[in-house]
Structure 1
Amino acid sequence: MGIVATKSFSFALEIIELYKFLSEAKKEYVLSKQVLRSGTAVGALIREAEHAQSKADFLHKMNIALKEANETEYWLTLLKESNYIGTDHYQPLMASCKSILRLLISIVHTTKTSLNR
């Protein structure tokens, strides 16, 4: 789980920078708090999963992390389409988000498969 934990931590730092930009430069406080909450929750949930009590608990936490990553993708797209952020902010964040989503989907699928054996 090292790669997904590392990527999600770096992503959280990027999201914090986005939040600072949105709140300071754009004076946007509602959407920015939403993306801050969901974008930083991904890594926190992955960190929680590292010490899960069981495989089922691990799967549950990773599923929630997946949902948070998916929600973050939504907020990033909304910020882009509403012109709060430009392509320069959007593209690297979305690339990171999609990379984390792919990893989480794979982890969830593999864990479900191993639990069903």
Structure 2
Amino acid sequence: MINLEDRTYQFARDCRLLVKDLKKTIFNVEDGKQLVRSSGSVGANYIEGNEKLGDKDLKFRIKISRKEAKESEYWLKLLGDLNLDESERIQKLTNEANELRKILSAIINKLK
């Protein structure tokens, strides 16, 4: 079974591969930059949280990670509406962002 660090890495990698393949329009470039940042931040904050300095820090980092997953969904939705030729690929990434958000929410709830 794949662990969450690997899964968040694959999500960020797949988002980068998508952005690399999109037409170089001004909105794809700008929205793509935002997606690259937010998708990478999901895993980066999760990893930082695992190097916890305490339960409060862990919870804070996981909440940021969840927020970044939700933000990634937003950028994917925008890109999807404007790149219909990539709709299937973008939908898979949107589903993964949503799944990651749900997993991170479950972790947060367990930490309460």
Normalising by structure 1, report the TM-score: 0.85
CA contact (8 A) 1:66 1:104 kept: yes
Cα distance in 1 between the residues matched to 2:92 and 2:53: 35
Runs of at least 5 residues in structure 2 that lack an aligned partner in the other structure: none
SS of match in other structure, 2:3: helix
Cα distance in 1 between the residues matched to 2:17 and 2:45: 20
CA contact (8 A) 1:49 1:62 kept: yes
Matched residue, 2:88: 88
| CA shift in 2, pair 1:3/1:11, >3 Å | same
Matched residue, 1:69: 69
Cα distance in 2 between the residues matched to 1:69 and 1:85: 23
Runs of at least 5 residues in structure 1 that lack an aligned partner in the other structure: none
Cα distance in 2 between the residues matched to 1:67 and 1:15: 17
1:35 aligns with 2:55: no
CA contact (8 A) 2:45 2:61 kept: yes
Matched residue, 1:4: 4
Q: Deviations over 1:75-112 (max 9, x none)?
A: 0011111236632221211121111111001011111x
Cα distance in 1 between the residues matched to 2:76 and 2:69: 11
SS of match in other structure, 1:8: helix
Cα distance in 2 between the residues matched to 1:85 and 1:75: 16
Alpha-carbon distance, 1:6 to partner: 1.9
Normalising by structure 2, report the TM-score: 0.88
* One-letter identity of the residue aligned with 1:92: K
Which contiguous aligned blocks of 4+ residues in structure 1 show a shift greater than 3 angstroms? none
SS of match in other structure, 1:29: helix
The count of aligned residue pairs is: 108
Tell me how large the CA RMSD over aligned residues is.
Answer: 1.5
